[in-house]
Amino acid sequence: MADRTEQTKQARTWFEGLRDQICAEFEAIEREAGSDAAFEYTPWDREEEGNDNPGGGVQGLMKGKVFEKVGVNVSTVHGTFAPEFAQTINGAQDDPSFSATGISLVAHMANPHVPAVHMNTRFLVTGKAWFGGGADLNPPIPYEEDTQEFHAAFRAACAKHNPTYYERFSKWAEDYFYIPHRGVHRGVGGIFYDHLECPDDDAFARNLDFTQDVGKTFLEVFPRLVRKRMEADWTDADKLTQLQWRGRYAEFNLVYDRGTLFGLKTGGNVDAILMSLPPEAVWT
């Protein structure tokens, strides 16, 4: 029988290590731009009545010259879903107890020509255990070559594990990151996956390996795109385009994003949950 506590520990160790690598790389980019900006880390503890081990996390936030606002959060929580919410969660219909560990990242960039980005990966244990996550690119001013480079990197990562993954998960991202009331997509896509189930240790190892490659691929491709665009000249019109686009991004995250809902429904840290919102946006 799979040891879910040990599996959660292994996943947590990876997510926290990935956080450290990403934050170091983003700070290195700030140094290249002549900025001394650095991440500030704020631990938080979750509270749940009658729960002696509810868990918590660490919010990492940096505001710099290149990264106008970037949050990189890790958390590991344990508890019980509210009955109604449990009915919406894979494997929780009969038993609402759960544990979850993961990393979540959103970067809003100062230069409108540099794409914003979202990445998260997670491991959940209910009556079942599974991995989910992905990464998607969100440029206010899209460049086709950047879109192709981002997708090519994740296509290659998926191909190492399953020949059907990229087609399935890129379509999932396209469908998921859509704003119905606006009739537009949030960005230019990427991959999104969920319920990659781990009924035994072998499946856990395979799915953890894939999830690790998602993180490694993000760490490889996104900083490269940032460095390509971060010194580009921009106009007031470009900035207005970015601010209007950020309004759409905020609408998606507040109305449709499942991760936002999960965090709020499970008593997560509100500031960490809403770190995905841009520092400035307009609606015109």
**pLDDT tens-digit series, residues 250-281:** 999 999 998 898 888 888 889 888 989 999 99
Helix, strand or coil for residue 187?
coil
The answer as to CATH 3.40.1500.10 being correct for domain 4-276 is: yes
Residue 141's pLDDT band (cuts 50, 70, 90): very high
Q: How far apart (Å, rounded) are the C-alpha atoms in residues 200 and 82? A: 27
What's this model's pTM, rounded to 2 decimal places? Answer: 0.94
Q: How far apart (Å, rounded) are the C-alpha atoms in residues 223 and 254? A: 27
Catalytic residues: 118
Q: Can you tell me the mean pLDDT for 34-45?
A: 97
For the chain, how far is it from start to end, CA to CA, in angstroms? Answer: 56
Where along the chain do its domains lie? 4-276
